[in-house]
Amino acid sequence: MFSLSLLTAVAVALQAHPAPRKHAPRSGIARTPAALETMAAELAQLDATAPVLAQGDAELAAMGAQLAGLDGLQGLAGLQGLEGLQGLEGLEGLQSLEGLESLQDLDVFAPVLAGREFATEPRASWDAQDPGDSLYRAARQQLNRSRYAEAAKLFTDLINRYERSSYTPDAYYWAAFALYRTGDDPNLQQAVVLLDKQKSRYARAATIGDNQELLARVLGVLARRGNQDARVRLQQLAGTDTTSTTCPNEDDDPRIAALMALNQMDPETAVPILKGVLKKRDPCAAELRRKAVWVLSQKRTAETEDILLDVARNDPDSDVREQAVFWLSQVGTEKALTALDSIAHTSTDEDLLEKALFAISQIHSPRAIQALRDFATRADAPEDAKERAVFWIGQSHDSGSAAFLRDLYGKTTNEDLKEKVIFAISQMHSAENTRWLMDLALNTREDIDVRKKALFWAGQSGADLGDLIQLYARTTDEDMKEQLIFVYSQRHDPAAIDKMIDIARHETNPELRKKAIFWLGQSHDPRAAQALLEIINQ
């Protein structure tokens, strides 16, 4: 006999069959030039994790199917016209204008507040393996229910408890957004603090593009309520700070036009001029130096690498330094690699160090790979940077690197680094690497979370489906069995569907049967729907 909860699970799975899989777009992705190279190179990692994203979206589809009985709400169709009122959010706080001498004072804020959009709905959870996943789901649910105080608390808990979670960078933004929607002055002030921290700590968060728009809105409410500090900040955002120096627009700056013209000249003429430009330190020279770095990288002379290295180490502007590091990688010579390796071993700037590792990875030579391996084994290297080096080693796809990573896994005690090694090995597709992942998944001396990750990536990297199916009967661990069901759901193979049908029919653990039923509901295989109907009719 089936319990009522199991039958309900089957019914919901049928309603969701076949469930379209839609992924919420990542809003506000940072598009700074220094970030684009790394983002492009990491797209392969996003492709590999797409099946994980499907899990959260599939669960949402199933929840949506349960709303089918709300037919009685059809009479509310006339409320659709209220969508136009969303733009009235900016009126919050107008009830207290005492802090402004006149409404004309609002004019200075117009460039900041007018016409700006910012994210108002968090995307669905995307990593069921992440320790912060449950808190993110709960916080998102509270936010979608307009329970802003509860949502802010949960997002803040996520930040405090799981610093390394992939959800944490965006949690700063959503905690600030929830606090903003409460409308209370102390909460608004805390929202400003959170947005400032996100900008300084997570410059590549998915919501970083929305950060300044939300900050402007929060500061606008505080300013209208008489908060002078908020008023000053808002003036700075609007570019009306009279103490700042106004630099010419790039399109109107004749110096930049002249600089770009140097690219058409011979190196003997251009390089001395470029060296002079790179020494400029006036407030408006940073953009000029960035352009000079690019032009210099196109002029291959005996001193090109030395000049770029000097800029990478000593320029006062972080973007200029990072651009110099990137273009060193495009020079691609042994001398450039020596310079980059020197930066990697001496720099205390975390962003610059990350760019140096990326730049080394773009030089396709055995020596560059060895430089990354040496860095990954350095005892004094920052752990985050070592993890980044491991990622780039995994992109090299050579057997020597795979052997190095497998050996590194056995030597390190850092759990985060171990996870990065597992992922890196999963990207280097070979029968030997897949077997290593399977052996790791079966090793009961390893932590259960590590085993689950190894199992998932083994499934993603082409582990034999027959071996994965046999493993279900061999293991007694419920967590591993649940992970196996998820692995089956990601394999588009009739044998995987057959195994989930078998689990749904015969598994004695009701929770595992529910999992199999749920994933059958997300399958496009017609046998899945037929099996679910047969289970109901038993």
**Per-residue pLDDT in tens (0 to 9) along the chain, 538 residues:** 455 566 566 655 665 554 443 334 443 333 333 344 344 434 434 443 443 333 344 333 333 333 333 333 333 333 333 333 333 333 333 333 333 333 333 333 333 333 346 888 999 999 999 999 999 999 999 999 999 999 999 999 999 999 899 999 999 999 999 999 999 999 999 999 999 999 999 989 999 888 877 887 888 788 778 787 876 676 555 443 434 456 766 655 667 766 776 776 778 878 888 898 899 887 778 888 998 999 899 888 999 999 999 999 899 998 899 999 989 888 888 888 999 999 998 888 888 899 999 999 998 889 999 999 999 999 889 999 999 999 999 998 777 899 999 999 999 988 899 999 999 999 988 899 999 999 999 898 998 999 999 999 999 888 899 999 999 998 989 999 999 999 999 988 899 999 999 999 999 999 999 999 999 988 888 898 888 888 888 7
Contacts 24+ apart (CB under 8 A), 298-305: 298/263, 299/267, 299/270, 299/271, 299/274, 300/267, 300/331, 301/267, 301/271, 303/271, 304/271, 304/331, 305/331, 305/333, 305/335, 305/336, 305/338, 305/339
The amino acid sitting at 90 is G
Check if the beta carbon of residue 488 is closer than 8 Å to that of residue 504: no
Token pair, residue 50, equals: 């797409």
User: Tokens 């492009």 sit at which residue?
Assistant: 40
Q: Indicate the pTM of the whole model.
A: 0.51
Rounded CA-CA distance 339/352 in Å is: 13
Token pair, residue 384, equals: 């985050």
Whether omega before 51 lies within 30 degrees of 0, making that bond cis, reads no
The runs of H, that is alpha helices, within 279-333 are 286-297, 304-314, 318-331
What is the CA 481 to chain-centroid distance, rounded?
29
Domains along the chain?
91-238 (1.25.40.10), 250-363 (1.25.10.10)
Q: Quick one: DSSP state of residue 162?
A: -
What pLDDT, on the 0 to 100 scale, is given for residue 46?
40
Check if the beta carbon of residue 505 is closer than 8 Å to that of residue 514: no
Rounded CA-CA distance 52/57 in Å is: 9
The helix (run of H) or strand (run of E) holding residue 199 is helix 185-201
Rounded CA-CA distance 172/198 in Å is: 6
Check if the beta carbon of residue 174 is closer than 8 Å to that of residue 122: yes
Rounded CA-CA distance 346/385 in Å is: 13
Neighbouring C-beta atoms of residue 270, cutoff 10 Å: 21
Token pair, residue 483, equals: 């992970």
What pLDDT, on the 0 to 100 scale, is given for residue 406?
94
